[in-house]
Amino acid sequence: MKRIVTGMSAAVSLLLASSPANAFAVPPELVIHCKQRDWQNTLIPTRQGNRAWGWRHLSAEHNIRKCSVVNAALNGSVDARSGSHWTYIAYAINRSTRKQIKIVAIVQHAQSTDDRKFKATDGYPIGVITAYCVGVNKCPDWVNQ
């Protein structure tokens, strides 16, 4: 079982898009916000995305504000597969209250989104579509500490 413990600092990697003046600039949705290798050594990016998928979706809709929360789930084996949709699971534990919550990350392990609006051209899969805490609309703030 994978676990993360809140109250510990975590490094957050942030990659910035190339200059808008560059004709080959990456679309903002495809910029990698953070990344993690799973136990099969597959590099899984969490891209900026938009309101429907990626970092912008999971941070706004599900209150996940740190890469370490998503990466904790990805730092393990795939818990379920359905075609190109891979599911990873972790548990966050609040040290002071002893509460724990299940975190699910859904990964699109393909070069494009299901609707084919976005295609990754950097050799990595689209990556994390969403991540959320099970049983609540938004993850509690302590998950991000």
Which of the pair, 2 or 140, is modelled with greater confidence? 140
| Predicted pLDDT at 25 | 78
**Please, are residues 76 and 38 in contact by the beta-carbon 8 Å criterion?**
yes
**Residue 119 to residue 43: CA distance in whole angstroms:** 17
pLDDT tens-digit map of 81-131: 999 999 999 999 999 999 999 999 999 999 999 999 999 999 999 999 999
**Which ranges in the chain belong to alpha helices (H)?**
54-62, 67-74
Q: How far apart are the first and last CA of the chain?
A: 20
pLDDT tens-digit map of 9-67: 333 222 233 334 445 678 999 999 999 999 999 999 999 999 999 999 999 999 999 99
Q: Given the structure tokens 């699109």, which residue do they identify?
A: 108
| Predicted pLDDT at 6 | 53
pTM of the model: 0.82
